[in-house]
Amino acid sequence: MNAQVFTALQTIWIKECTRFLRIWVQTLVPPAITMSLYFVIFGNLIGKRIGDMGGFSYMEFIVPGLIMMSIITNSYANVSSSFFSAKFQRNIEELLVSPVPTWVIIMGFVGGGVARGLLIGIIVTTVSLFFVDVQIHNFGIIFITLLLTSTLFATAGLINGIFAKTFDDISVVPTFILTPLTYLGGVFYSLSLLPEFWQMVSKANPIVYMVNGFRYGFLGVSDVNYLFSLGLLVGFNAILFSVAYYLLNKGTGIRA
């Protein structure tokens, strides 16, 4: 990477980070409050009635899933809204006609989403310490899963931003696809509690693998093979990056 390309990447990334840090009350505080409510309601109140989950308290069991849920939501939302805003304000054309490689534009926007996802993950993890002693089984698995997942959904948010024609369009996927898949992704329960048929159905949900891979890093237990989860994340990242690259090169949603 030459100096000019690195400067371009750094500039886009700093712009994206500054964007969400400037309005931190709207971007960083709400997830902390929302997750605190989840910890109180599901962990303290309902969790006491549920009891242990796979040898761990219910609160310990759901913490990795809640962290992952907040990372997925915020990584996606950051890039989809940012890229669509650039389209709406008609300044994305300046990037596309500049001598900046397409992959740099993608990585700049995605890097901003990843930064927000990682920061939210740290905040929610810190909040969880007030409710439970967080265990760490394998920090490497935690970091890799977190990085790959935030990158995946940041790229998905970019693709959503490319196709979106109005501000309402960037909320359709999170509302009707992302949220249901997340809640049915094993955040609040173990797949082992489900009948065999529904276990098979649940394993068609990709978020199950992300949540369980992340949970393995914390607790050392998973409903699926964590290595398969990592492989799936790498594969999905490669596919979505290729799609985003093709769409930007073609000018989909941008050029008349």
Q: Where are the domains of the chain?
A: 3-250
- Comparing C-alpha atoms, which of 66, 50, 75, 23 is closest to residue 182? 66
Instruction: Provide the 3-class DSSP secondary structure of residue 252.
Output: coil
Supply 68's token pair. Answer: 């992952």
Return the higher-pLDDT residue of 137 and 95. 137
CA–CA distance, 7 with 98 (Å, rounded to integer): 13
Q: What pLDDT, in 10s, does the model give residues 64-97?
A: 999 999 999 999 999 999 999 988 888 888 887 8
What φ, ψ does residue 134 adopt, rounded to 5°?
Answer: -75, 130
CA–CA distance, 92 with 90 (Å, rounded to integer): 6
Confidence at 46, pLDDT banded by 50, 70, 90: confident
Widest CA span of the chain, in angstroms? 60
Q: Report, as an integer, the average pLDDT of 16-38.
A: 92
* 212 and 230 Cβ atoms separated by less than 8 Å: no
pTM of the prediction?
0.93
- Comparing C-alpha atoms, which of 63, 80, 254, 108 is closest to residue 174? 80
Weakest-pLDDT range from 86-100, 130-144, 181-195, 198-212: 86-100
Q: Report, as an integer, the average pLDDT of 178-202.
A: 90
Report whether pLDDT(10) > 90.
Answer: yes
Weakest-pLDDT range from 2-6, 46-50, 146-150, 207-211: 46-50
CA–CA distance, 52 with 230 (Å, rounded to integer): 27
Weakest-pLDDT range from 6-15, 93-102, 131-140, 227-236: 93-102
> Which pLDDT does position 255 carry in this prediction?
61
Q: Which stretches of 89-138 are DSSP H helices?
A: 92-97, 102-128
Q: Report, as an integer, the average pLDDT of 192-196.
A: 88
> Which pLDDT does position 211 carry in this prediction?
95
